[in-house]
Amino acid sequence: MAKKIGYAAKLFGGTAGTTASTEITHAKDVKVSVDIDIVDATDRSTGGWKDNLPALKDATLSFTLVYDSADTNYSTIRSNAMSGTPYAFKPSNGNGGGLDADWTISKFEEDQSNGEVISADVEAVPYCGSRNPSWASDTSSNSNSTPA
């Protein structure tokens, strides 16, 4: 088993309806949260035990995007947030595994603090109008597993 440090992971972006393929190199602190609703299906046949069934899934993708005037990803993501246009993101663990989906950008919060670089906190939720989210499996196991 090869352990990975977070900076070896990657975030990809692209046109909704396709797997994201453009690396977003100015992203940091990427986080994917998947929540699964649980439905109580308990009846008298369960012998006094609750019968919990998985139901609807939801996810949130969040990351910080560092501003660079030469980086078109920043302006594209901001534009998609302002227009409500879905955008493909695929956060990858660096081995190809990750949640591949189209996303609605639900938050674009630009921070212009005096002592920091300009950045934006971005949050997105799945958009299923063009394709359903799917978790891609790892394609390799040991690239970038430890820092050089």
> Residue-wise pLDDT tens for the chain (148 aa)?
578 899 999 999 999 999 999 999 999 999 999 999 999 999 999 999 999 999 999 999 999 999 999 999 999 999 999 999 999 999 999 898 999 999 999 999 999 999 999 999 999 999 999 999 999 998 865 444 433 3
pLDDT of residue 1: 59
- Residues near 104 by beta carbon (within 8 Å), at least 6 away in sequence: 84, 86, 124, 125, 126, 127
Give 38-102 as a DSSP string. EEE---GGGTT---EEEEEEEEEEEEEEE--TT-HHHHHHHHHHHHT--EEEEEE-SSS-EEEEE
pLDDT of residue 46: 95
pLDDT of residue 144: 45
Instruction: Sketch the domain layout of the chain as residue ranges.
Output: 9-38+52-136
Tracing tokens 């975030």 back to the chain, one arrives at: 11
